[in-house]
Structure 1
Amino acid sequence: MTSQSPPQLTFRAVLLAIILAMILAAANAYLGLFAGLTIATAIPAAVVSMGVLRLLGGGTILENNIVQTGASAGSSIAAGVIFTLPALIILGYWQDFRYSWVMAIAGLGGLLGVLFSVPLRRSMIVEDPLPFPEGKAAAEVLKAGENPGPGLKILGLSAVVGAVVKFAAESGLRLIPDNAVSGGFFGKYLAYMGTNLSPALLGVGYIVGLNVGIVVVSGSIFSYNIAIPLYHMFFLDSDPALAAQLAGQTAVDAANILRAEKIRYMGVGAMLIGGVWTLFSLRNSLLSGVKSGIAAARKGTGAIVAETERDLPMKWMLIALVLFTLPLLGLYQTIVGQWGVSIPMTVIMIVAGFLFVSVSAYLAGLVGSSNNPVSGITIATILFASVVLVLLLGRDSPIGAVAAIMIGAVVCCAAAVGGDNLQDLKAGYIVGATPWKQQLMLGIGAFSCALVMAPVLNLLSAAYGIGPPTAEHPNSLAAPQATLMASVAKGMFGGELPWDMIGAGAVVGALVIAFDGWLKSRGSKFRVPVLAAAIGIYLPLELMVPIFLGGLLAHIVERAHKLKADDEEAKDRIHRPGTLFSAGLITGEALTGILIAIPIVVSGKGDVLALPTAWHFSQWIGLIVLAFVAWLLYRSATKSELAATESGKSA
């Protein structure tokens, strides 16, 4: 006789998960459009769940696990959408985000991600387990849930801090600038340095850690302090049009123009070679993982399976796969109007979706969802789809780039959700949850997020602008990943791409791969993931500097606690208060950015909240504010009640 498991899929848990998923999806949409990065939301969702359910009479660990599973879809769906669909605005195909289309692409893509990832659970979690660092951390938070009060206190305080700083910045009161930058000409050498003043980016850096922080900022330093000066000194004379564009510009403006027109495409080349290398290096592990997962599912048919081993039934998964695919086939047919093209598009979407969900799940198992290079996966999808569509439609097709983006959008949503699903299932495996209930909850959470994405994106687009700066929106949300996707797709269909820069970036990416292989052969704990380096090359330096500083803070916290370098379990416990503080900074700033957008859209004025110019402070005050936030983060991570509790446990 088996004992009855504690309640999991309760009405209150499902409702709370849906609410949190929608809020966190909106926050991550803003963060992704702003910085090109999203962060995993399972841990802050788990803390909020424990606090709310405690107020409602107490919740079981499995109820809290269900809440964090559903809520974690917020980051996944947001990443899948904002990395791809703004490209349709940038390409001029859409004037705004169409509700039904966004809902179909995000919702059905997310559900496909859940289905495709189910066969991978047994291989990657049970038989040949991968680390899944964020899944383990979420499980630790759930197990320590007897006293969520200190964690909620940290989360609330930091959310207020992030909100206040965002409200004081350029889109709000304009008391402090968004960036502190400086540059100058030394002969023909163009020097540039700067940092964004966003607390959210500081929090992102704390979460991803020092290793990733060093890699991304090194990529940006290479871009701004090596590649841009070299191009300015030796190649500008051979490009009269660009030279005329730079004439009379300040050093800061000249550096940004050179990055936008030329150097960022080196990041594209590095991403392309990195995506191909990632697929090649994981080929054996992925193939064996898929095979063993399917074999295990077949073997389990008709057998008595423990509650903690029950996945969604394979039969119902196949039926759902057909039901979810048919609407996407209809959507593709609406775009191209040719069954001979829309059917191959659907086949590409299914094959690439399953393959890249496997890649995403594997990478989430190694480095966590926050470090999962979904953008590289999407670029590979768009390139592959573009090659096939060029053969079917011709290189001059006006709809080819749009069709490639549509395929990439579904695959991106599926890959993001698939990696997140395995991360959640790892946490559930540790705490004794039922897999099929988690898989169902993640599907519900993913579709719930899809319902709010279009309104949020339309609000942000109207208030701030999305894509390259314009006269109307000089400080637009850069949407760096979507801009990249648009450039790649357009370049494959009659557009122009600086292939020399892309080729140079591919060479740089190959050198990074070789260097990382050398580090691996020496057993070094410090690694140089090529996709992280490529993101650093592609994105502005000022976005990467606070991420590096946040990672440095995380390292200093470890040193303050005198942790051993290989004690990963102790790191998870020690970093919990800092992780919660960081998550609060991100959530508070992002939600405030969305709220500020409302009066901007209603009034039609970007400076509707701005105080008189006499009240505006210099960038030095902004740096002091950022330093104060960094001190608060460090103090929270080392001196808080929660940190003291966890230190005692680790001792």
Structure 2
Amino acid sequence: MNNPGMAQLTPRAVILAIVLAMILAAANAYLGLFAGLTVATAIPAAVVSMGVLRLLGGGTILENNIVQTGASAGSSIAAGVIFTIPALVILGYWDDFKYSWVLVIAGLGGLLGVLFSVPLRRTMIVEDPLPFPEGKAAAEVLKAGDNPGPGLKLLAISSVLGAFIKASAASGMRMIPDSWAMAGFFGNGKVLAYFGTGLSPALLGVGYIVGLNVGIVVLSGSIISWHIAIPIFNAFFMDTDPALAAQTAGSGAADTAFAIWNAKIRYLGVGAMLIGGVWTLFALRKSLASGIKSGFAAARKGSGKVIAETERDLPMKWMLVSLVLFVIPLALLYQAIVGQWMVSIPMTIIMIVSGFLFVSVSGYLAGLVGSSNNPVSGITIATILFASLVLVFLLGGDSPIGAVAAIMIGAVVCCAAAVGGDNLQDLKAGYLVGATPWKQQLMLAIGAFSCALIMAPMLNLLAAAYGIGAPTDEFPNSLAAPQATLMASVAKGMFGGDLPWAMIAIGAGVGAFTIALDELLKARKSHFRVPVLAAAIGIYLPLELMVPIFLGGFLSYLVERKHKVSGDGEDRDHVHRPGTLFSAGLITGEALMGIAIAIPIVLSERADVLALPDGWHFGQWVGLCVLAMVGWLLYRSGTRSSGIT
């Protein structure tokens, strides 16, 4: 445990965190609009912090932790904004991004995410701890930096390896692709087979940290989508959607599989997420109530029992006051949109209830598979669906403003969920290094609001340079903004359009079955469990993301079994320390390089600015061999002496 008097929330740490948060938010905004993904920034920020503070005379491990906490808000706010707010431009409601509106949505949404996640800390980190792989990896990075030695050397080697492979991939030099896949039609085109895997070392590292159980569950969800649902739809139901059939006519097997998944099958994951989110909140009701109760008790203890510095959250009474202050501007914003208090008040209530519900779900998901793989867009779709159902009743199914109102609710909830899950990930790292929770919570709030200050100008800059949404004559290569386009489609579909309700209902059924199976395993005291939200992740996200997570979990299992055979497997965390450090380095290196690659792309306005000539493009089989090599190195690092500190 660290000295409680050790420097944490210092002015230099706060300033460095804000600067890093803004830079990382800008980079993630472009990457998210361009490629539909964002890169985790907590671990890269921790690495940068250790280097900068060392140049300034050295920083404590808790100062570095504060910096990574505040800087990690960059990816969270960027994700929350780019997944939703561009939908307002795509729907034609805005011609450009209104500064004050974006600031209110992103800034207050992020602050609500911090507030809603405070009572979850005790539940998910202390009383019933979840793995929080990236939080754990961040803690390992901080510990290695605080005590240089073999661990820091291992971390540096794997970071360089992860960075080089990322630079060599499709977004950089294009020497190897981002994924490997095989697909084909059989039986006169009726049978569609598809298999693939991502070639990301970071996903392999995430899988190693979360372990085999979660790896099996998320891969099983993907198997439901890609090896059962998609082939069935292609064989028997393609004729029910003439537009999709026309879109895929003449396409290859892989393109057809992705088109079916994007238009239909991913909604199975939305349904499973809906039922899983409600169930998760219900299952956690006692722990959540205990966390809130203990928070109030801590607030009343003033002159009574002294609370340990490592257990001090933001005071509950100030949280409630802040909640009211943050909600009022959002209620006024909703009133400005619909012009009816009988509608804007229910919108505000939906936002608050959905916000707390999905911050809880986001925190749980981040605890299972990490913030990078947390399907916040799926959570937001669920919010927009629920909000739209209420708004259809209040405004009517043909309301011209209904879709916009639903997006406005979803945008706040998306920012809150992204920040809330990230906050708990950071609090896990802080818990492992002996930090003070309220200082981290305050720092994340500062970082989130700082990022919100620059989002509207950044979005306007990108829109002016590239265009956002579908290609036009003026912007033939516009930024696709895939998540925001999906949000716009869902909201518009509720007010005069179509949604695959049958898929959502089937997905809810799959979620209910998964819950029943997990409860059966729980009753039998099985070590293997089937968390419904982990299964929903696998259903909702592409197969390529789940396969390397499973492979990393399998490597973790092999390492643990080898240590048990050799008699040194009693302490799992101690056994996995070298492998966890190696995994943390892979995540760090890939994330840092992902951000670095964004800079020349933005400056040159060319996505292929770093691409090497055609003779240097080696194809997916070479990429698969590279991933296999990384897996072998990860296994070797995990099976070496576990005495690294």
Q: Tell whether the structures are fold-level matches, with TM greater than 0.5.
A: yes
Distance 1:353-1:271 versus aligned 2 partners, 3 A rule = closer
Aligned residues: 636
Q: CA deviation at 1:427?
A: 4.9
Percent of aligned pairs with the same amino acid: 72
SS of residue in 2 equivalent to 1:648: coil
Q: CA deviation at 1:409?
A: 2.1
Give me the whole-angstrom Cα distance separating, in 1, the residues matched to 2:406 and 2:172: 37
Distance 1:606-1:590 versus aligned 2 partners, 3 A rule = closer
Give matches, 1:71-110, under 5 Å.
Answer: 71-88=71-88, 91-94=91-94, 98-110=98-110
Q: CA deviation at 1:133?
A: 4.7
Pick from 519, 525, 546 the counterpart of residue 527 of structure 2. Answer: 525
Aligned to 1:623: 624
Aligned to 2:56: 56
**Cα deviations across residues 25-48 of structure 1 (Å, max 9, x unaligned)?**
456657766887767654554454
SS of residue in 2 equivalent to 1:235: helix
Pick from 380, 383, 388 the counterpart of residue 385 of structure 2. Answer: 383
Q: Are the counterparts in 2 of residues 275 and 376 from structure 1 also a CA contact under 8 Å?
A: no
Q: Quick check: 1:185 aligned with 2:182?
A: no
Aligned to 2:396: 394
Give me the whole-angstrom Cα distance separating, in 2, the residues matched to 1:78 and 1:190: 36
Distance 1:158-1:89 versus aligned 2 partners, 3 A rule = farther
Distance 1:331-1:565 versus aligned 2 partners, 3 A rule = farther
Letter matched to residue 532 of structure 1: A
Q: Quick check: 1:12 aligned with 2:12?
A: yes
Aligned to 1:285: 287
Letter matched to residue 570 of structure 1: H
User: Structure 1 stretch 457-466 or stretch 430-439: which is displaced more?
Assistant: 457-466
Letter matched to residue 116 of structure 1: F
Distance 1:110-1:566 versus aligned 2 partners, 3 A rule = farther
Give matches, 1:492-507, under 5 Å.
Answer: 492-507=494-509
Pick from 436, 445, 448 the counterpart of residue 447 of structure 2. Answer: 445
Give matches, 1:153-192, under 5 Å.
Answer: 157-187=157-187, 188-192=190-194
User: Structure 1 stretch 43-52 or stretch 485-494: which is displaced more?
Assistant: 43-52
SS of residue in 1 equivalent to 2:194: strand
Q: CA deviation at 1:248?
A: 2.6
Letter matched to residue 643 of structure 2: G
SS of residue in 2 equivalent to 1:181: strand
Q: Are the counterparts in 1 of residues 200 and 627 from structure 2 also a CA contact under 8 Å?
A: yes
Aligned to 1:648: 643
Pick from 584, 588, 595 the counterpart of residue 592 of structure 2. Answer: 588
Q: Are the counterparts in 1 of residues 378 and 540 from structure 2 also a CA contact under 8 Å?
A: no
Distance 1:370-1:282 versus aligned 2 partners, 3 A rule = farther
Aligned to 2:270: 268
Q: CA deviation at 1:228?
A: 1.9
TM-score w.r.t. the length of structure 2 is 0.84
User: Structure 1 stretch 102-111 or stretch 183-192: which is displaced more?
Assistant: 102-111
SS of residue in 2 equivalent to 1:5: coil
Give me the whole-angstrom Cα distance separating, in 2, the residues matched to 1:608 and 1:43: 27
Letter matched to residue 68 of structure 1: Q
Letter matched to residue 59 of structure 1: G
SS of residue in 2 equivalent to 1:84: coil
Give me the whole-angstrom Cα distance separating, in 1, the residues matched to 2:4 and 2:242: 76
Give me the whole-angstrom Cα distance separating, in 1, the residues matched to 2:276 and 2:7: 44
Q: CA deviation at 1:587?
A: 1.0
Give matches, 1:169-568, under 5 Å.
Answer: 169-187=169-187, 188-297=190-299, 299-301=300-302, 303=304, 305-306=306-307, 308=309, 310-361=312-363, 374-375=376-377, 377-425=379-427, 427-428=429-430, 431-454=433-456, 479-480=482-483, 482=484, 484-562=486-564, 567-568=571-572
Q: Quick check: 1:598 aligned with 2:602?
A: yes
Pick from 573, 576, 592 the counterpart of residue 577 of structure 2. Answer: 573
Letter matched to residue 14 of structure 1: V
TM-score w.r.t. the length of structure 1 is 0.83
User: Structure 1 stretch 302-311 or stretch 70-79: which is displaced more?
Assistant: 302-311
Distance 1:241-1:378 versus aligned 2 partners, 3 A rule = closer
Q: CA deviation at 1:539?
A: 2.7
Give me the whole-angstrom Cα distance separating, in 1, the residues matched to 2:637 and 2:145: 19
Q: Are the counterparts in 2 of residues 558 and 574 from structure 1 also a CA contact under 8 Å?
A: no
Give me the whole-angstrom Cα distance separating, in 1, the residues matched to 2:570 and 2:36: 30
Q: CA deviation at 1:496?
A: 0.2
SS of residue in 1 equivalent to 2:643: helix
Q: CA deviation at 1:214?
A: 2.7
Give me the whole-angstrom Cα distance separating, in 1, the residues matched to 2:563 and 2:28: 31
Give me the whole-angstrom Cα distance separating, in 2, the residues matched to 1:164 and 1:451: 33
Q: Are the counterparts in 1 of residues 371 and 421 from structure 2 also a CA contact under 8 Å?
A: yes
SS of residue in 2 equivalent to 1:182: strand
> What 5-or-longer segments of structure 1 have no aligned partner?
none
Give me the whole-angstrom Cα distance separating, in 2, the residues matched to 1:222 and 1:390: 32
Q: Are the counterparts in 1 of residues 9 and 439 from structure 2 also a CA contact under 8 Å?
A: yes
**Cα deviations across residues 311-345 of structure 1 (Å, max 9, x unaligned)?**
44445444433443333234323433434433332
**Cα deviations across residues 442-462 of structure 1 (Å, max 9, x unaligned)?**
211222333454566667778
Give me the whole-angstrom Cα distance separating, in 2, the residues matched to 1:72 and 1:540: 25
Distance 1:506-1:92 versus aligned 2 partners, 3 A rule = farther
Q: Are the counterparts in 2 of residues 275 and 380 from structure 1 also a CA contact under 8 Å?
A: no
Q: Are the counterparts in 2 of residues 87 and 485 from structure 1 also a CA contact under 8 Å?
A: yes
Letter matched to residue 619 of structure 1: Q
User: Structure 1 stretch 59-68 or stretch 266-275: which is displaced more?
Assistant: 59-68
Distance 1:159-1:571 versus aligned 2 partners, 3 A rule = same
The RMSD of aligned alpha carbons is: 4.0
**Cα deviations across residues 505-558 of structure 1 (Å, max 9, x unaligned)?**
222222222222233233333332222322322333233333333333444444
Give me the whole-angstrom Cα distance separating, in 2, the residues matched to 1:91 and 1:191: 36
